[in-house]
Amino acid sequence: MRRFLLPVLIVPVLFGCASSAAQARQADTTVKLVAYSTPKPVMQKLVSRFAHQPAGQGVSFTQSYGPSGSQARAIVAGQPADVAFLSTGLDIDTIADAGLVSKTWTKAPYGGIAADSVVAFVVRPGNPKRIHGWKDLVKPGVKVVTPNPFSSGSAKWNVLAAYGQARKSGQSDHKAVRFVTKLFKHVVAQDPSGSTAANTFFSGQGDVLITYESEAYAAFASGERGKLVVPKPTMLIELPMVALKSAPSAAKAFIKYAHAPKQQRIFAANGYRPVVKSVLKRPDLKSWRKKYSTGPAFTIQDRLFGGWRKVNRVWFDPVKGRMVGIERAVGGPTH
């Protein structure tokens, strides 16, 4: 018996040494998270919880938040990044075109999307201007707050949602563009990001904020007062999270972790629509399931848009895009 005992004892010792070595290497790993501004609270929760997982032990994070388009350009310009969580697929494409992210990033699980939201309105308590749908935004005297579409992903979604709903109601392309132009004549503030636009609105400017549904819920959770209105129809906002090519394995493990049911429940309970839809069947998310049952939503893949690359050429090209012309017409920002 004694002849066989020694190898049995040695195996756990060797395994323990290997495990300790792996942990020591992992302890030196820093994951650099670069994200758009809105999800900072929920991402801080996920980062904190990841540290208690086997894949996250000894891993530290740096976190950068800002306007999505600006964050994408910063990464291309050299800002260190391992995980990019941005507000449009266009911004991920910008990084991919620079060779920093795989151009096939949409083939990742869930299409590379970590969570969803929809374009929504926040109005003043009691809804004194009686804003219930898109047409109400262009009524006389209504003052609108929405971010700058040349820096903010949130603003891009808002523009496309306004155009898309007009087309869905039967308007021609020309009339739908005129509606967007009329809407921007009512805009009184165009901040760099969705979060700064929300701060402007909740500080007292404007009658209605066009924003992410998730931004509205985050504001209400922090004590801000207002009423959420989800117009019909609206646009589904798909929020991509990808690892850069140079990212350590811990970064990829974090993205996988963010898609697991427990973490998707965290997204769902913090105002984000989960991509793992089954989590909404949980009894503790019943109230959120009801909140997210808001009716039809069209996507960026709709034939009206044809995906982000086409949308960027048509709407947001800094020289020939439709938004440059609209902003010039209303005296808004053009970059």
Query: What distance lies between CA 242 and its chain's CA centroid?
Result: 12
CA distances from 304 to 89, 161, 300, 307 (A): 17, 11, 8, 9
* Distance separating alpha carbons of residues 231 and 210, to the nearest angstrom: 10
Please tell me the predicted confidence (pLDDT) of residue 282.
96
Beta-carbon count within 10 A of 161 CB: 24
What is the rounded radius of gyration, in angstroms, for the C-alpha atoms of the chain? Answer: 23
The encoded tokens of residue 125 equal 């308590």
What does the buried/exposed string (b/e) look like for 173-203 if buried means 16 or more CB atoms within 10 Å of the residue's CB? Answer: eeebbebbbebbebbebbbbbbbbbbebbbe
Q: 36: phi > 0 → left, psi -120 to 50 → alpha, else beta; which?
A: beta
Return d(Cα 114, Cα 277) in angstroms, integer.
12
Longest dimension (CA), the chain: 93
Can you state the angle between helices 261-268 and 249-258, rounded to 10 degrees? 60
Whole-number Å distance between alpha carbons of 5 and 15: 16
| Of 288, 321, 315, 325, residue with least CA distance to 160 | 315
For residues 38 and 40, give the distance between their C-alpha atoms in angstroms, rounded to a whole number.
6
Q: What is the pLDDT along the chain (335 residues), one digit of tens a residue?
A: 444 443 443 444 444 444 444 444 455 899 999 999 889 999 999 999 999 999 999 999 999 999 898 999 999 999 999 999 999 999 999 999 999 999 999 999 999 999 999 999 999 999 999 999 999 999 999 999 999 999 889 999 999 999 999 999 999 999 999 999 999 999 999 999 999 999 999 999 999 999 999 999 999 999 999 999 999 999 999 999 999 999 999 999 999 999 999 999 999 999 999 999 999 999 999 999 999 999 989 999 999 999 999 999 999 999 999 999 999 999 999 98
Q: 48-54: which pairs have CB atoms within 8 A and are 24 or more residues apart?
A: 49/263, 49/266, 50/254, 50/257, 53/257
Predicted confidence at residue 27, as pLDDT, reads: 57
Size (the chain), residues: 335
Q: Which residues pair with 243 in a beta bridge?
A: 83
Buried b (16+ CB within 10 A) or exposed e, 10-36: eeeeeeeeeeeeeeeebeebebbbbbb
Q: How far is CA 307 from CA 13, 177, 251, 264, 312, in A?
A: 55, 18, 27, 25, 9
Q: Tell me which residue of 61, 54, 39 sits closest to 115, measured CA to CA.
A: 39
Pairing of strands 234-243, 113-123: antiparallel
For residue 234, list its beta bridge partners: 297
- Do 17-115+237-291 and 117-236+295-330 fold alike per CATH? yes
| Structure tokens that stand for 334 in this block | 């053009």
17-115+237-291 CATH pick, 1.10.760.10, 3.40.190.10, 2.40.40.20, 1.10.10.60? 3.40.190.10
For the chain, domain boundaries: 17-115+237-291, 117-236+295-330
CB atoms within 10 A of CB 93: 20
Q: Identify the pLDDT of residue 2.
A: 40
Query: What one-letter code names the amino acid at 229?
Result: V
Give 60's Cβ-side CA count (13 Å radius): 7
Provide the whole-model pTM.
0.88
Where does the chain show beta strands of DSSP type E? 30-36, 60-66, 83-85, 113-123, 144-145, 187-189, 208-212, 227-229, 234-243, 273-274, 297-298
The yes or no reply on domain 117-236+295-330 and CATH 3.40.190.10 is yes
